[in-house]
Amino acid sequence: MKMKFTRPIAFIDLETTGTDTEKDRIVEIAVCKLDPSSGQYATSCRLINPTIPIPAGASEVHGIKDEDVANEPTFKQIAKGLLAFLEGCDIAGFNSNRFDIPLLFNEFHRAGLFWDYSQFLMIDVGNLFKIKHPRTLSDAVRIYLGREMENAHSAEADIEATLDVFLAQIEKHENDEGFPQTLEDLALYTNFDKKVIDLGGKFTYNNEGEIVLTIGEHKGKPAKDYIGFLQWMVGPKANFSADTKAVAQQIIDSARQKT
């Protein structure tokens, strides 16, 4: 493998109460940390009491019910230890840029902690797979590893399969024309060549490098031109995540400094 890793990569997978990254809670978390020097990895997996009822539809997907987590710790109880465990790691997962990382960020925020995602690279193995083969994790296991996926929707099985697929993807595609040769470029590539501004995706860059809105009637327009809308976004009645509000406030403050 030509691509070299200098920092540990923590692969994460969450089973949750639903798919809303701002409101839903974690019921199981698995972290698989890849050592860059040895290529070895260690996996940690545990159930979490989400403090809210687990909907039947969610339980049908991952098999975890309220009684399974009743005596487990809450996320707030494990948050400091988890944040310390992730310190110094780049973060990877399957569809993690749009789901696992934003949801985990918001769980940390509710616990009174700030997970500074500007300090690590985000490698989305799911996006990399979709770019090369638009299918599911089970298909990725079949295509890249030549085996059938077992225990799908078990967080531990999912994340270990994700790590195995990632290593096989690098091995298979690293000589492809235009394929990234550094982890920094790979992070950008697996987010469809868009730098992350906020985890909720309410802002993005246009072709001119301006920050534009992705929501509301001003979608696709430069955010700096709609300060009134941004002021609503940071207000108490708007239900946006902390980092989205922080970006909006930064744009507001920058506009004020120029007047």
pLDDT band at 134 (very low <50, low <70, confident <90, very high): confident
pLDDT value of position 207: 85
In terms of pLDDT, which residue wins out, 73 or 209? 73
Is residue 257 pLDDT above 90, yes or no? no
Q: Does some domain include residue 195?
A: no
CA distances in angstroms from 57 to 37, 61, 62, 94, 152, listed in the order given:
42, 7, 9, 21, 16
The answer on 167 and 72 residing in a single domain is yes
Its pTM stands at: 0.79
How does pLDDT run across 194-220, given as a tens digit for each residue? 899 999 999 999 989 999 999 989 999
Nearest to 62 by CA among 96, 25, 111: 25
Sign of CA dihedral 64, 68, 74, 78: negative
Q: Does some domain include residue 197?
A: no
d(CA 102, CA 117) in angstroms, rounded, equals 10
The answer on 167 and 107 residing in a single domain is yes
In the chain, the percentage of residues whose pLDDT exceeds 70 is 100
- The answer for residues whose C-beta is within 8 angstroms of residue 50's C-beta and 6 or more apart is 16, 17, 25, 26, 27, 69, 74, 75
- The answer for residues whose C-beta is within 8 angstroms of residue 222's C-beta and 6 or more apart is 206, 210, 211, 212
How does pLDDT run across 225-237, given as a tens digit for each residue? 999 999 999 999 9
The answer on 123 and 157 residing in a single domain is yes
Is residue 4 pLDDT above 90, yes or no? no
Q: Containing domain of residue 236, as a range? A: 203-257
pLDDT value of position 75: 98
pLDDT band at 3 (very low <50, low <70, confident <90, very high): confident
The answer on 225 and 110 residing in a single domain is no
pLDDT averaged over every residue in the chain: 94
